[in-house]
Chain A
C-alpha cells in the first residue's frame, strides 16, 4: 500500500480519531440491537409458549419498539451534538490553506505574505491545526481525507471550511467525494504531513520561483514549453508562463504524482500524460499533445522534471 492511508478506521488526526471512536461505539450499538431483534424473532417463532405469550402483547411494542429506541437514541443524539460542536469550533491559531475544486483537479493556495500556488498535493506540518478554505470553480466537489477527518462540500459561489490536523508524519490520500462528472473517480490528491522544520524548509522553496533551466536540453525544453503554448494554461513562476487555467507547474518535479494523482511522477509518466492524457484520465481538460518529435519530447520532459 506504499504507505498511503485512506481509511476512516485508520485515523491519524484528532478529528478523524473522535469520529472513529464514535464509529466503533455505533457499530457496537448496532450489533447489540441487531442481535436483540434476531433473538426476539427467534423466540417469537421457536420460543416456549410462555415466552411467546409474553412477547405477544402490546407491551412488547411499547418496551422494545418505543421506550428502548427513545432512550438509546437520545443518548446517541447528545453524543453526536457534542461531537458536532467540538469539530466545528474554530480558533485563530491555525494556518490556512485555500483549496479550489475544479474539473478534475485541485488548486491549492498556501496563505502567506506572498501566497504560494500549487496543485494536487497538500503539505502540512505535523501537529499543526490547518484551516482549509474550500471553494469550487465550476461544479460541486467535496474535499475528503478519510484518515484525517470528515468531508466538506465545495460549492460554487460559497465558501466552506474544514479543520484538519495530522498527528503523525505520513501520506494521507484524499479524494473528491461529490460526483462531479467525467473522471470524478480519478480526482484524488495526497496530503503529506511533515515534521515542522522539514515543512518550513520545503515551504521556502515552494513559495519561490523554480530553478532556471540549467542544461541545453532543459533550455530547449523550456523554449518548446513556451512555443507550444503550454504557458497559456500553466504557470511556472519566474518565467513567462503565467497561465491560470491548469495546475501551477512551478515545482512540478517536487510533487509526487502527475496527471492529478493518476500516475507516480517519473519522466516517462510525464511524457505519457502529455501524449496520452485522454486515455490515462479520460475526459480531463488537457488536450493530448502529439505534436512533438521524440527529441522534442525528451527536451520538454527534461525541462518539466527540472522544475523543483
Chain B
C-alpha cells in the first residue's frame, strides 16, 4: 500500500501524539511503582548507569586540575569526608549505615569500590551531585577549592587502613570513650563529627591543615559573626555551613570565647623570603594608594574593631586562598566580606603573596603593630 507523503506525515504525527497520551495515562493511573525497595529492571539500570557515566565524562571535559598531592588539601578533605560523606559511603573502620544502604541505588563504598574516575570527573561529581541517585551537589557552588580538597582526599582513600583514616580525619583528636550513662542519655553520632578541633586545633595544637584558619586568640565577636554568617548560609562554604548549622543557642558564643582565650600556637615554619616579607610589610602598613589598596593594618591590627579578624601569625595557605577566592570573583555576601572583597581584587597576584608572607611571618604573640 502506498501512502501519499502528506498522509504519511500526518500519520507519524498522530502516532506520536497517541504514544504521548498513552504514556500520560499510564503515569496518571499510578500503576508505575516508584518503590526503592523493588530495584530497577536490569535494562533500566544499565541505561541509567550508561547515561550517568557518559554525562560525567562529557561535562568534566575542560576542567583544569590543580595539584592534588598537597597534604593540607588531603587533610581538609578527610575531615569533611568524615562528617559529610562517611554516613552513606562508609570509610575504613566506618561501615555504611544500613539506612543509606537501602537507598536506590545503594551508595558505593568508596573505601573499597571506587570506579576509576579521572580527577576532573571526581571533582565534577562532588560539585554537582548526580540526579536520581541521592548524591547531593556541593552545598555551595562558588567554592571549587573545597571540592578539590575532597577530591584530593578521595585519591588517598583507597590505600588507608582504619587507624590511618582516623588519624587523618580526626586530626589526631583523642575521643574519650563515653560512659554508659552518657551514651544512654545524650546524642550519639559518629565519633567527634562536630568537633571544631578536628580542623582548627585546640589548646596549643595548630589546625591540621594550613588551609584552615587559626582561631586561637581571634576576637570572640569575629568568630561569632563568622559562625552566624555560615549558619545563615551567607558566607560561602560547603564545609563550614553544616558545622555551624549543627550548633545551637549559646554554642557560638561559648566556642568563640574558648578560642578567643587561647594563646596562639607555636609556629611550625614561617615564610623566609625576606624581600617578599618586607614588601608585604610595607603594603600592610602603608597600603598602595595608587592601586586603591588601603593599609591592611588599619583593620587587622590589635586596636581594630573586634568584628575584624587579626592576621598576625595566620596560616599562609589560608591567607592566600582567601584573598585569591575574592580576587577570582567570589561574590561577597557578609558585611565584612563586602568591605574586604574589593580590596582583595585591587591587590596584584604579587601583592597577595607578599602580604600573605608578611602576616604569616609575624609572631602572633607580639601582635601585628599598627
Direct contact of A and B (CB under 8 A): yes
Interface residues of A (CB under 8 A from B): 137, 224, 226-229, 231-233, 243-245, 285, 287-291
Cβ–Cβ contact A232 & B339, under 8 A: no
Q: How far is the CB of B226 from chain A (nearest CB, A)?
A: 13
Q: B299, B307, B335, B338: which contacts A232 (Cβ < 8 A)?
A: B299
Q: Which chain B positions have C-beta within 8 A of A228?
A: 299, 304-305
A137 to B294, CA, bound (A): 16
Cβ–Cβ contact A245 & B342, under 8 A: no
Interface residues of B (CB under 8 A from A): 287, 289-290, 292-295, 297-299, 303-305, 307-308, 335-336, 338-339, 341-343
A224 to B299, CA, bound (A): 11
Assuming the contacts A227-B305, A229-B304, A287-B338, asked whether A245 and B299 have C-beta atoms less than 8 A apart, the reply is no
Cβ–Cβ contact B298 & A245, under 8 A: no
Cβ–Cβ contact A232 & B295, under 8 A: yes
Task: Name the CB-closest residue of B to A240.
Answer: B370
Assuming the contacts A226-B303, A244-B289, asked whether A232 and B336 have C-beta atoms less than 8 A apart, the reply is no
Task: Name the CB-closest residue of A to B288.
Answer: A245
Assuming the contacts A228-B299, A232-B295, asked whether A245 and B339 have C-beta atoms less than 8 A apart, the reply is no
Task: Name the CB-closest residue of B to A230.
Answer: B298
Q: How far is the CB of A231 from chain B (nearest CB, A)?
A: 6
Q: Which chain A positions have C-beta within 8 A of B339?
A: 229, 287-289, 291
Q: How far is the CB of B307 from chain A (nearest CB, A)?
A: 5
Cβ–Cβ contact A229 & B303, under 8 A: no
Cβ–Cβ contact B298 & A232, under 8 A: yes
- Inter-chain pairs besides A245-B293, A291-B307, 15 sampled, C-beta below 8 Å: A227-B303, A229-B294, A229-B298, A229-B299, A229-B308, A232-B294, A233-B294, A244-B289, A245-B294, A287-B338, A287-B342, A288-B335, A288-B338, A289-B335, A290-B338
Q: Which chain B positions have C-beta within 8 A of A233?
A: 294
* The 7 nearest A-B residue pairs measured at CB: A232-B298, A232-B294, A229-B299, A229-B298, A290-B335, A287-B339, A291-B335
Provide a sorted-by-A list of 19 A–B residue pairs whose CB atoms are within 8 angstroms: A227-B303, A228-B304, A228-B305, A229-B305, A232-B287, A232-B294, A232-B295, A232-B297, A232-B299, A243-B289, A245-B289, A285-B342, A287-B338, A287-B339, A287-B341, A287-B343, A288-B339, A289-B339, A291-B336
Q: Which chain B positions have C-beta within 8 A of A227?
A: 303-305
Task: Name the CB-closest residue of A to B297.
Answer: A232
Cβ–Cβ contact A243 & B304, under 8 A: no
A229 to B305, CA, bound (A): 8
Assuming the contacts A228-B305, A291-B335, asked whether A285 and B299 have C-beta atoms less than 8 A apart, the reply is no
Give the residue among A226, A231, A245, A290 with the most B Cβ atoms within 10 A: A245
Q: How far is the CB of B289 from chain A (nearest CB, A)?
A: 5
Q: How far is the CB of A239 from chain B (nearest CB, A)?
A: 13
A245 to B293, CA, bound (A): 8
A285 to B293, CA, bound (A): 11
Task: Name the CB-closest residue of B to A287.
Answer: B339
Q: Which chain A positions have C-beta within 8 A of B293?
A: 245
Q: Which chain B positions have C-beta within 8 A of A224?
A: 305
A207 to B295, CA, bound (A): 26
A193 to B13, CA, bound (A): 81
Task: Name the CB-closest residue of A to B292.
Answer: A245
A171 to B90, CA, bound (A): 75
Q: How far is the CB of A128 from chain B (nearest CB, A)?
A: 32
A50 to B339, CA, bound (A): 80
Give the residue among A137, A227, A288 with the most B Cβ atoms within 10 A: A227
A291 to B335, CA, bound (A): 6
A285 to B345, CA, bound (A): 12
Q: How far is the CB of A241 from chain B (nearest CB, A)?
A: 9
Q: How far is the CB of B221 from chain A (nearest CB, A)?
A: 10
Q: Which chain B positions have C-beta within 8 A of A226?
A: 303
Q: Which chain B positions have C-beta within 8 A of A244?
A: 289
Q: How far is the CB of B54 from chain A (nearest CB, A)?
A: 44
Q: How far is the CB of A234 from chain B (nearest CB, A)?
A: 9
Q: How far is the CB of B311 from chain A (nearest CB, A)?
A: 13
